[in-house]
Amino acid sequence: MSKVKRAYQLCQGLKKTMARAIVLAALLLAATASSTTATTLTIHNLCPHPVWPLVTPNSGLPSISDNTARLDPNALLTLSFPPTFWAGRVAARTGCDAAASGCWTGAAPPATVVQVTVHDGTNQDQAAYSVSLADGFNAPVVVSPQAAGGGQCPALGCPVDLNCDCPPQQRAAEGAACRGPPEYFKSRCPLTRTTPTDVEPVPQSCRAPGELKVVFCQATIVTGGVAAAAEAEMAIRTVVADS
């Protein structure tokens, strides 16, 4: 057999091997995607004024919102996360113009920021979430998972309007936002992160939630079960799923 013919056969064999590898990788990717729980992001405005949610993906990840929606009091917005890993931030913009291109607060610090990660990990479909005041505060926010597949999924956030008692020297946007300090934020809202290294004093290991609910101007955080939530008007309950 000539060297040219042997080289041709080796080339054809390599192509077949690569094709099989590509098919196998596609099948594995499809299996991984199908094993994750479809998760939605529900944003609920309970503030007495409109808000314009700002949903921003981390670098390199797809956008899930065009960020033009206006939520009047008691309005809802439902968005779908992709079936693969996604991480990003949610903030409440206030005082926006009709096109939501200019806003009084929320588009830049100081602003309350919800940090969200879904579909993290290949086996347990982990979700992680927090409410950060490290960049300041502009609106009360509570985040809670619903229909979780297991683990510990506490409601977290700040149901208090920190603008009311914000130290005068820390006020921004004519009192519609507050820069700090972290000690003030933490004393009023312990279930938030007030510095880059801060964590909440409750365990979190939430698997496969069907929904992450972000509520602006939530009145309180209820740490009981369904009965307690029913007794507290407009309250978000803590979900602790069976392991």
- Say which DSSP state 147 is in: S
The domains of the chain are located at 1-35, 37-240
C-alpha to C-alpha distance for 146 and 165, rounded to whole angstroms: 32
Nearest alpha-carbon partner for 195 in 180, 185, 182:
182
pTM of the model: 0.78
- Give the C-alpha separation, 62 to 167, whole Å: 38
Give SS3 for 45.
strand
Dump strand ranges (E) for the chain.
40-45, 52-57, 76-80, 86-93, 113-120, 126-132, 141-146, 150-153, 156-158, 171-172, 177-178, 205-207, 211-216, 221-222, 236-237, 239-240
72 neighbors 33 (Cβ within 8 angstroms): no
90 within 8 A of 43, measured Cβ to Cβ: yes
The answer to whether the beta carbons of residues 43 and 54 sit under 8 Å apart is no
Q: Are 135 and 170 in contact (CB under 8 A)?
A: no
The DSSP 8-state label assigned to residue 193 in this structure reads: B
Q: β-strands 171-172, 177-178: how paired?
A: antiparallel
pLDDT 10s per residue in the chain (243 long)? 554 445 445 445 545 555 554 444 444 444 444 455 789 999 999 999 999 999 999 999 999 999 999 999 999 999 999 999 999 999 999 999 988 999 999 999 999 999 999 999 766 789 999 999 999 999 999 999 998 888 899 999 999 999 999 999 999 999 999 999 999 999 999 999 999 999 999 989 899 999 999 999 998 886 543 333 333 333 333 333 333
Residue 16 is predicted with a pLDDT of: 54
Out of 2.115.10.20, 3.90.226.10, 3.40.50.2000, 2.60.110.10, select the CATH number for domain 37-240: 2.60.110.10
Half-sphere exposure (CA, 13 Å, Cβ side) for 64?
27
